[in-house]
Structure 1
Amino acid sequence: MAPTTTFDRTRLLPRSGIGVDGPWLVIAPPGNPVIRLDSRLLDRVELIGRSPTAPLIWSGVATAGVAAAALTIIPGTIFACAGFAYLAYERFGEARRRSRSRDLLLALGDLEVALHVADGPEAAKGIAEQLAPYTRDAPITRPEVYEDAKRRMRAQAEGKGEATARREIEHALLVGADVVYLRGDYLQVGQVAFRITEVREYALRGANLPLTGGRLLQAAMGLLVVAAEERASAGEDVNVLSKRIADYEAWSGHSVGR
Structure 2
Amino acid sequence: MGKVWNVGVAGLGAMGRVVAGGLASGELPGMRLAAVAEVCAENPFDVPKVDFCALALACDLVCECLPAAAVPDLAAACLPAGTDMVVITSAALLLYPEILEAHRDSRARIFVPSGALAGMDAVRALASAGAVTGARLASTKPPAGFGRADIVDKTRIFAGNALGAARAYPANVNVAATLTLASGLPPEAVEVEVWADPAATGNTHEIRVESAFSVVTARVEGQPDPANPKTSALAGRSVLA
Range into which the TM-score falls when normalised by the shorter chain: under 0.3
- TM-score, normalised with respect to structure 2: 0.23
Q: Which has the larger radius of gyration?
A: 1
Bigger share in helix = 1
The structure that is strand-richer by fraction is 2
